[in-house]
Amino acid sequence: MRYLNRFNQYIREYEKIYPLPRLENSIQHMEAVSKQIEEKLKDAAMGEPNPELVQQTIQKFFRWAVKPSSENFSWLEVALLCRGLLVDIPKYGSLIKSGHDVKDLLRKFFPQYESSMLSAYPWQGLLNAYLNASPRQNPVLDENWQELRTFLENTLEKVAMQSSFKPRWLEALICHRIVLTENATQSLAIDALQGRMERVDRIAREVNIPSTSWFWPELLMSQVEAITAYPDEQFKPAIDLILPQLQDRKECLDDGLARILNRYAKCASLESQQELESMSISRWKNPSLEKQRNWERVTPEAKRMVQRWLAQKDIYDILGKLVEDNRRYEFWLQFLDQIEYTFVWLGKDARESFPDLLHNRQDRCAVLNHSGKPDNNVIMMKIRDVFITESGARAGGKCWAYREEKMRPLLQRSSLSYDFFRDPNNNLFKTNWGESDGLIHISGSWEKIFQNELTRFNIEPDTMAFDEIVHRYQLRVETLPSGTERIRHDYAAGILADLLRRHGFSYSYKGGFYRNP
């Protein structure tokens, strides 16, 4: 008893020096430490498994797939298998691209090893394979990816319930389970189009979607699909949101361009969209060249629309901008629907003063050499089977027409002398006095002479309603306080003046054409 009393005395002296905490304080301390450890573990990154072990395990699985009773798998092997779906195995390829092995894993293998596969680490391997799969470019990969998505969506709750604690990525996935739903990017595309890209970025950051994932090109194509369903007044401005993204995602560029062009061709008004036109030509080159098969991606109507844009641009730049001859520009613009394509040859002055005219005309522009007339330019317009060439010198110029066998070889050359366009022996146009040296633009009613020659080849102006005239010639109709309609136009002669008169307008020297309702 004496020894026991002495021991108790020592204990009391020790407690005076080192007081023990109360029991409830000790429990609180342990809980706090436990939470700190759990928080650290939530962000713990599991290292990549040994590649050789992964290959060995997958090869073992291939043997199991042939004879399921032949192999047994440990928890570690199940984990390696789940984290190796994207690994290429010699002679086998990867599981994600195999014809049936993904289904075997998720349907036949899973019932036997469910508890292991639904552990966080193995299941995360399946999730990584789902997120890291490249854009689905073949039916087998797409089918396997769909199989994997469905499995993950159906087992997410079980994994969450089985986990003693939830890693950060699992908490994020539970919060953003939209990533696992069918057509996930369609609803997110609406957020992106409406300026809520921060939601998309947050999901990608928290779920850890890599930049190489299928998610990003599919999100972009979902945006393309969404805007093509917009009405015209919403669709056209939305194009400017999509084109820069397509430029950054080359794997989406061709398909995205095709869908947008096809939709644009269905708009009520088909005015040129500069960025769309520029990107299409830069990517697919001239739509009128036979060798450019990329244009088969779009409908004939969409291709024709772009050809029309280019033709109108060429006619304006050569005859309106460089030559500054509005009457010639107006005359040829009335055949715009019939012009299959155009080609231009630029003289010395144009190349030096407007170098962008060369750069913006890939495969449909060449150099013109004309001694003594550096300001000359030539534009060729194909209407049906007639190749019409207009000389664009400011001090005059002539117009010729040739058959295909004369003009086709010239389109392959990077430069030409002006003399190539002077060919009275093959020129189809005749003057009033029967000569074949090209039509001239100096008479007061030269348009009638030109039209008479075109009529010989069954080429008549396009049929245009008044609204089409306003749109094509970019006119502005003003309504004055009196109710009179006014269109500002500087001169009373020419095709446009005639068209306006046919629709009830009269010319006034006070500044244009007027029509009383």
Lowest mean pLDDT among 4-8, 174-178, 315-319: 4-8
Q: Percentage of the chain surpassing pLDDT 90? A: 49
Dump pLDDT digits (tens) for 362-397.
788 999 998 888 989 999 999 999 999 998 776 567
8 Å CB contact between 155 and 106: no
Beta 398-402 vs 386-391: how paired, if at all?
antiparallel
Structure tokens, 155:
């087992």
Residue showing tokens 């060439």? 389
Q: What is the predicted pLDDT for the residue at 69? A: 75
Task: For the chain, give the mean pLDDT.
Answer: 86
Q: For 320-349, what is the mean pLDDT?
A: 92
Residue 49 pLDDT exceeds 90: no
Backbone angles phi, psi at 248, to 5 degrees: -85, -15
Q: For 61-69, what is the mean pLDDT?
A: 85
Q: What is the predicted pLDDT for the residue at 336? A: 95
Per-residue confidence band for 151, with pLDDT thresholds at 50, 70 and 90: very high
Structure tokens, 143:
């089918």
Task: Give the DSSP letter string of 202-259.
Answer: HHHHHHT--TTSTHHHHHHHHHHHHHHTS-HHHHHHHHHHHHHHHHH-HHHHHHHHHH
8 Å CB contact between 57 and 81: yes
Question: pTM of whole model > 0.85?
Answer: no
Q: What is the predicted pLDDT for the residue at 42? A: 45
Alpha helix segments (H runs only) across 316-371: 326-333, 348-353, 356-359
Dump pLDDT digits (tens) for 413-425.
989 999 888 888 9
Q: What is the predicted pLDDT for the residue at 46? A: 53
Residue 305 pLDDT exceeds 60: yes
Task: Please tell me whether residue 383 adopts helix, strand or coil conformation.
Answer: strand
Residue 434 pLDDT exceeds 80: no
Q: What is the predicted pLDDT for the residue at 37? A: 45
Residue showing tokens 């030539």? 378
Backbone angles phi, psi at 204, to 5 degrees: -60, -40
Lowest mean pLDDT among 3-17, 94-108, 454-468: 3-17
8 Å CB contact between 364 and 286: yes
Dump pLDDT digits (tens) for 458-479.
999 999 999 999 999 999 999 9
Residue 30 pLDDT exceeds 60: no
Q: For 218-227, what is the mean pLDDT?
A: 95
Rg value, the chain, Cα:
37
Residue showing tokens 């508890």? 115
